């Protein structure tokens, strides 16, 4: 394997939180007498920046601010995220990759403070050389912090691969000049990656086979 460093997305890729996100967004929509959505609809609509996704979901920012909606979501998410779990097989995969000598880091749109807390809770923080998250909870995007992460990793770009569950991960990797591996079990279905022209895997086990 030519890759010496794996950059992981977190939510949806390593953390199984899609169901929680659908639950919360539907409660918020229902409270505003707006149509709720199925899991499939959510996975088609969700994207970065999340402000655009909220508008596609039906929120009207002429009536209330994006900051209000985003804060409402994250308050509910943080209250309930203790019940989320890693994707099945993710813990073992992270451990096996570390034992193989490949370095790993996380690049997430999650707020850094909460990200560190969860990694400690799951007992996986020590497997990651660097953990990069955002300074706020509005999930604007990961490109700029990705540039800082690459400076820390300090390897040729063809030695690095980013693994993520959204087309934003593909866009970030393209901007950073590194390869992407997509997974279709998270926040985006496989068909959303068609324009990315990258390999899309459907399970943690397939990722393990690809990497190891």
Q: What is the pLDDT of residues 153-203, one digit of tens each?
A: 999 999 999 999 999 999 999 999 999 999 999 999 999 999 998 999 999
Quote the percentage of the chain above a pLDDT of 90. Answer: 88
Q: Which domain holds residue 120?
A: 5-16+84-211
Q: In this structure, are 144 and 116 located in the same domain?
A: yes
List, for residues 167-177, the tens digit of each pLDDT value: 999 999 999 99
Whether the predicted pLDDT of 79 surpasses 60: yes
Sorted by sequence, the CB contacts under 8 Å of residue 84 that are 6+ apart come out as 15, 16, 17, 20
Whether the predicted pLDDT of 98 surpasses 80: yes
Find the range with the poorest average confidence among 4-8, 29-33, 45-49, 146-150: 45-49
Q: In this structure, are 88 and 65 located in the same domain?
A: no
Q: How far is CA 142 from CA 53, 66, 146, in A?
A: 16, 19, 6
- The pLDDT of 79-90, averaged and rounded, is 96
| Residue 6 bridge partners (DSSP) | 104, 161
Q: In this structure, are 129 and 195 located in the same domain?
A: yes
Considering 83, 101, 120, which residue would you say is the last residue of a domain? 83
Q: How many CB atoms lie within 10 A of CB 36?
A: 15
Q: In this structure, are 115 and 54 located in the same domain?
A: no
What tokens were used for 206? Answer: 């397939």
Q: In this structure, are 32 and 115 located in the same domain?
A: no
Query: How far apart, in whole angstroms, are the C-alpha atoms of residue 204 and residue 82?
Result: 22
Q: What is the CATH number of the domain that holds 158?
A: 3.40.50.1000
Q: In this structure, are 108 and 155 located in the same domain?
A: yes
Considering 65, 83, 101, which residue would you say is the last residue of a domain? 83
Quote the percentage of the chain above a pLDDT of 70. Answer: 97
- The pLDDT of 103-109, averaged and rounded, is 96
Q: How many CB atoms lie within 10 A of CB 128?
A: 19
Q: Is the pTM of this model over 0.85?
A: yes
Judge contact between 167 and 196, C-beta under 8 A.
Answer: yes
DSSP string, 133-184: EESSSS---SHHHHHHHHHHH---GGGEEEEESSHHHHHHHHHHT-EEEEES
Q: What confidence category does residue 135 fall into, taking pLDDT thresholds of 50, 70 and 90? A: confident
Of 24, 6, 19, the C-alpha closest to 186 is 19
Q: What is the mean pLDDT of the chain?
A: 94
Q: In this structure, are 181 and 139 located in the same domain?
A: yes
Q: In this structure, are 123 and 70 located in the same domain?
A: no
Q: In this structure, are 66 and 90 located in the same domain?
A: no
Considering 28, 48, 83, which residue would you say is the last residue of a domain? 83
Q: How confident is the model at residue 142, as a pLDDT?
A: 87
List, for residues 15-26, the tens digit of each pLDDT value: 999 999 999 999
Q: How confident is the model at residue 138, as a pLDDT?
A: 53
**Structural domain tally of the chain?**
2
Q: How confident is the model at residue 137, as a pLDDT?
A: 52
**DSSP code at position 195:** G
Q: How confident is the model at residue 103, as a pLDDT?
A: 98
């Amino acid at each position: 394997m030519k890759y010496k460093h794996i950059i992981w997305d977190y939510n949806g890729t390593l953390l199984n939180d899609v169901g929680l996100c659908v639950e919360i967004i539907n409660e918020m929509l229902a409270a505003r007498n707006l149509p709720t959505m199925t899991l499939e609809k959510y996975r088609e609509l969700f994207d970065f920046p999340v402000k655009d996704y909220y508008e596609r979901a039906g929120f009207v920012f002429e009536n209330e601010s994006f900051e209000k909606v985003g804060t409402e979501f994250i308050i509910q998410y943080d209250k309930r995220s203790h019940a989320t779990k890693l994707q099945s097989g993710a813990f073992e995969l992270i451990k096996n990759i570390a034992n193989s000598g490949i370095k790993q880091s996380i690049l997430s749109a999650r707020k850094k403070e909460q990200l560190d807390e969860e990694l400690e809770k799951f007992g996986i923080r020590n497997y990651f050389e660097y953990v990069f998250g955002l300074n706020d909870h509005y999930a604007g995007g990961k490109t700029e912090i990705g540039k800082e992460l690459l400076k820390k990793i300090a390897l040729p770009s063809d030695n690095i691969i980013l693994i993520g569950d959204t087309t934003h991960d593909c866009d970030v990797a393209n901007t950073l000049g590194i390869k992407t591996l997509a997974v279709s079990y998270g926040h985006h279905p496989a068909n959303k990656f068609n324009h990315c022209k990258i390999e899309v895997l459907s399970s943690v086990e397939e990722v393990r086979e690809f990497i190891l």
